[in-house]
Amino acid sequence: MPDDTPPSAEPTGFPFATAAAALAGLFLFAGLVLVAYYSPNYLSGPAEPKADPAAKLAEVRAKNQAVLDGADPGTKMPVGRATAEVLTFAEKAKDDKAKQGRLPFPVEPKAAVAPAPADGKDKK
């Protein structure tokens, strides 16, 4: 037969075991953090020496010049030939609307600005 008496509402005292376990966990965590912080990194290999900034700059400039000259495999044509092609297209496309010639990509026409009234009677 089940016991029908309600449990006691009075606290039984301070939970010393729970507090001690929490403090032990806290200090264990702090200790492991310090061990991990001061231990050497075993996952990475030997540190690579830092490259000389001047040598790196010279390398980047050489790569950029190779791209401009068309020697890089990712470029379609050298910059001089591409400039000449665009200028010849612009020369062929001269007409009354574009006296300097049109470039091979679309350009939005500038919107015309309406002149302001001179007498000022239109203002409200």
**Per-residue confidence of the chain (124 residues) as pLDDT tens digits?**
566 766 666 767 899 999 999 999 999 999 999 999 999 888 877 777 888 899 999 999 999 998 888 888 888 888 888 888 888 877 777 776 766 666 666 656 666 666 666 665 555 5
Question: Cβ neighbours of residue 82 under 8 Å, at least 6 residues apart?
Answer: 76
26 vs 23: CA distance, rounded Å: 5
112 vs 58: CA distance, rounded Å: 49
pTM across the whole model: 0.37
Give the start-to-end residue ranges of the domains of the chain: 53-92
Which amino acid is residue 103, in one-letter code? L
CA angle 112–98–78, rounded 5-degree value = 125
Question: What is the signed CA dihedral for 81, 84, 85, 86, rounded to 10 degrees?
Answer: 130
